[in-house]
């Protein structure tokens, strides 16, 4: 799947309590997303550089993430390896680090960009973040369907998961119509997946 330039929402802020590691994908790239105790959000490739174990089965410990296989620790922010317990008597080689992606937390959503381009996510009026709706359809088809709804009090964004699937994320102006939007998106999902 071809990565597109720009920023995409990959999680909601409320998906990321401290201590949790959220797992998702962007353009088929597996991501481990976690918030350090400092509040900083990290978006890393979901793979320890040592032996390829998913970071998302590991543990978030304050400002470090610990891999589940050999308990190597990686620092929030830089992704640098801070501890290799098998050799705890010496500092880890500086070349060992998690693959780190850009992060912007904005409007109740967490945004990332795999291909450099625009400097920031789209600007929009803040409100209430909708429940994310996964759809087994390509992002372009989902975007088209959302545009044709013609809604004004809600802003939709599409996270391309893989070539055949997406996640709809949205922000409504207030919580007056949350249930209505949720039902509408569920209906849209069923229609798209049936077509």
Which residues bind to other proteins, rule: CB under 8 A?
30, 47, 49-54, 57, 68-71, 84-89, 92-93, 95-96
Nearer to other proteins, 54 or 108 (CB): 54
Structure tokens, 124: 């929009």
Give the nearest distance from C-beta 101 to other proteins in angstroms. Answer: 17
Give the nearest distance from C-beta 96 to other proteins in angstroms. Answer: 5
Instruction: Give CA–CA dist 62/86, Å, rounded.
Output: 21
Query: Is there a contact between 44 and 32 (Cβ–Cβ < 8 Å)?
Result: yes
Nearer to other proteins, 52 or 150 (CB): 52
Nearer to other proteins, 115 or 125 (CB): 115
Phi, psi dihedral angles at 112 (to 5 degrees):
-140, 170
Instruction: Give CA–CA dist 74/51, Å, rounded.
Output: 14
| Alpha-carbon 64 to chain mean position | 18
Nearer to other proteins, 69 or 106 (CB): 69
Give the nearest distance from C-beta 191 to other proteins in angstroms. Answer: 33
Q: Among 78, 97, 99, which residue's Cα sits nearest to residue 26?
A: 99
Sign of CA dihedral 26, 143, 9, 56: negative
Give the nearest distance from C-beta 164 to other proteins in angstroms. Answer: 17
Give the nearest distance from C-beta 34 to other proteins in angstroms. Answer: 16
Nearer to other proteins, 98 or 142 (CB): 98
């Amino acid at each position: 799947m071809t990565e597109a330039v720009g920023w995409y929402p990959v999680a909601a802020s409320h998906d990321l309590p401290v201590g949790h590691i959220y797992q998702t994908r962007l353009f088929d790239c597996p991501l481990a997303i976690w918030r350090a105790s400092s509040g900083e959000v990290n978006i890393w490739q979901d793979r320890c550089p040592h032996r390829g174990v998913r970071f998302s089965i590991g543990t978030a410990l304050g400002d470090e993430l610990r891999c589940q296989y050999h308990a190597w620790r990686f620092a929030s922010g830089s992704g640098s390896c801070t501890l290799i317990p098998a050799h705890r008597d010496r500092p880890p080689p500086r070349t060992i680090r998690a693959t780190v992606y850009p992060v912007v937390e904005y409007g109740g959503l967490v945004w990332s960009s795999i291909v450099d381009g625009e400097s920031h996510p789209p600007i929009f009026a803040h409100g209430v973040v909708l429940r994310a709706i996964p759809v087994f359809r390509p992002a372009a088809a989902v975007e088209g369907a959302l545009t044709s709804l013609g809604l004004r009090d809600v802003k939709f964004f599409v996270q391309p998961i893989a070539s055949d699937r997406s996640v709809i994320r949205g922000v409504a102006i207030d919580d007056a119509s949350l249930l209505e939007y949720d039902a509408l998106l569920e209906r849209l999902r069923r229609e798209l997946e049936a077509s």
